[in-house]
Structure 1
Amino acid sequence: MGFAQAVGGTRYLFPDLRTLLARATPLRSGDVLAGLAAGSAQERVAAQRELADLPLRHFLTEAVIPYEEDEVTRLILDRHDVAAFAPVAHLTVGGFRDWLLSEAASPAMLAALRPGLTPEMVAGVSKICRLQDLVAIAAKCQVTTRFRNTLGLPGRLSIRLQPNDPVDDPRGVAAAILDGLLLGAGDAVIGVNPATDSLDNTLRLLELLDAVRDRYAIPTQSCVLAHVTTTLLAIEQGAPVDLVFQSIGGTEATNRSFGVSLALLREAREAALGLGRGSLGQDLMYFETGQGSALSAEAHHGCDQQTIEARAYAVAREFPPLLVNSVVGFIGPEYLFDGKQITRAGLEDHCCGKLLGLPMGVDVCYTNHAEADQDDMDALLTLLGVAGVTYIMGVPGADDVMLAYQSSSFHDGRYLRAALGKRPAPEFAAWMERMGLEAASSAGELPPRLAPSLAGLA
Structure 2
Amino acid sequence: MTARRATLAGHTYEFPSLVELLAKATPARSGDVLAGCAAESAAERVAAQTVLADLPLAVFLEEQVVGYDEDDVTRLILDTHDRAAFAPVASLTVGGFRDRLLEWTADGDEAAITGLARGLTPEMVAAVSKLMRTADLVAVARRSPVVTGLRSTIGSPGRLATRLQPNHPTDDPLGVTASVLDGLLHGCGDAVIGINPATDSPARTVELLELLDAVIRRYEIPTQSCVLAHVTTTLRALDAGAPVDLVFQSVAGTQAANRAFGVTLDLLAEARAGALELGRGTVGDNVTYFETGQGSALSAGAHLGVGGRPVDQQTLEARAYGVARQFAPLLVNTVVGFIGPEYLYDGKQVLRAGLEDHFCGKLLGLPMGVDVCYTNHAEVDGDDTDTLTLLLGAAGCGFVIAVPGADDVMLHYQSLSFTDVLAARQVLGLRPAPEFEAWLARMGLLDDDGRVRALPPDAPAARALLAAAAP
Scaled by the length of structure 2, the TM-score of the pair is 0.96
Deviations 1:96-154 (A, max 9, x none): 00111113672111121111100000000000100111001100001000100111111
**Residue matched to 1:90:** 91
- What amino acid is the match of 1:12? Y
Letter in 1 for 2:89: V
Kept in 2, the 8 Å contact 1:8–1:42? The answer is no
Aligned CA distance change for structure 1 residues 57 and 299 (closer, same or farther; 3 Å)? same
Instruction: Tell me, yes or no, if structure 1 residue 294 matches structure 2 residue 306.
Output: no
Aligned-pair distance for 1:454? 5.8
3-state SS, counterpart of residue 100 of structure 1 = helix
Q: Which amino acid letter does the alignment assign opposite residue 17 of structure 1? A: L
Aligned residue identity for 2:184: L
Which residue pairs with 1:451 in the alignment? 463
What amino acid maps onto 2:209 in structure 1?
L
Matches within 5 A, 1:73-222: 73-103=74-104, 106-222=109-225
Which aligned pairs between 1:16-27 and structure 2 lie closer than 5 A?
16-27=17-28
- Structure 2 letter corresponding to 1:98: D
Q: What do the CA deviations read for 1:321-367 (whole angstroms, capped 9, x no partner)?
A: 00000000001000000000000000000000000000000000100
1:150-192 alpha-carbon deviations (Å, 9 max, x no partner): 1111111101000000110000000000000000000000000
Q: Alpha-carbon deviation of 1:455?
A: 8.8
Give the structure 1 partner of residue 307 of structure 2.
none
Does 1:226 pair with 2:229? yes
Q: Partners of 2:321 and 2:110 in 1: how far apart?
A: 19
Name the aligned partner's letter for residue 153 of structure 1: S
**Correspondence for 2:349 among 341, 357, 361:** 341
Give me the whole-angstrom Cα distance separating, in 2, the residues matched to 1:21 and 1:456.
50
Give SS of 1:259's match: coil
Measured in 1, the distance between the counterparts of 2:385 and 2:149 equals: 28
Whether the aligned pair in 2 keeps the contact of 1:175 and 1:454 (CA below 8 Å) is no
3-state SS of the aligned residue for 1:129? coil
2: CA distance, partners of 1:153 / 1:431:
17
Q: Distance in 1 between matches of 2:177 and 2:58?
A: 52
Q: Does 1:41 align with 2:42?
A: yes
Q: Which residue of the partner structure matches residue 73 of structure 2?
A: 72
Return the alpha-carbon distance in structure 2 between the equivalents of residues 15 and 457 of structure 1: 62
1:402 aligns with 2:403: no
In 1, Cα distance between equivalents of 2:330 and 2:462? 27
Equivalent residues of 1:368, 1:405 under 8 A apart = yes
Runs of 4 or more above 6 Å deviation: none
* Counterpart in the other structure of 2:14: 13
Partner letter of residue 114 of structure 2? A
The whole-number CA distance in structure 1 between the counterparts of 2:220 and 2:392 is: 30
- SS of structure 1 residue aligned to 2:294: coil
1:268 maps to a residue whose letter is A
Picking from 390, 413, 416, the partner of 2:421 is 413
**TM-score scaled by structure 1?**
0.98
Native 8 Å contact 2:164 2:194 kept in 1: yes
- TM-superposed CA distance for 1:450, in Å, is 3.6
Gaps of 5+ in 2: 305-309
- For residues 443 and 333 of structure 1, what CA distance do their matches in structure 2 show? 37
Q: Report the secondary structure of 2:115's partner residue.
A: helix
Q: Is 1:252–2:264 an aligned residue pair?
A: no
Change (3 A) 1:219 1:456: closer
Which position in structure 2 is the counterpart of 1:322?
330
Distance 1:323 1:450 in 2: 28
- Tell me what 1:370 maps to: 378
Offset from partner CA, 1:206-244 (integer Å, 9 cap, x none): 111001111111000000000000000000000000000
SS at 1:365 equivalent? coil
For residue 259 of structure 1, report the CA deviation from its aligned partner. 0.3
Paired residues of 1:171 and 1:455 also in contact (CA < 8 A)? no
Q: CA RMSD in A?
A: 1.2
Q: Is the 8 A contact 2:445 2:461 kept in 1?
A: no
Whole-angstrom distance in 2 between the partners of 1:271 and 1:431: 29
Matches for 1:241-280 after TM superposition, within 5 Å: 241-280=244-283
Indicate the larger mover: 271-280 or 351-360.
271-280
Cα distance in 1 for residues equivalent to 2:265 and 2:75: 11
Measured after TM superposition, the shift of residue 443 of structure 1 is 3.8
2: CA distance, partners of 1:211 / 1:169: 16
Q: Unpaired segments of 5 or more residues in structure 1?
A: none
User: How big is the shift at 1:93?
Assistant: 0.5
Partner SS state of residue 67, structure 1: coil
1:394 deviates by 1.2
Q: Give 1:305 deviation, angstroms.
A: 0.1
Aligned-partner Cα distance in 2 for 1:139–1:390: 10
Separation in structure 2 between the aligned mates of residue 345 and residue 212 of structure 1, nearest angstrom: 36
**1:49-105 C-alpha deviation (Å, 9 max, x unpaired):** 000010111111100011001000000111111111110011110010011111367
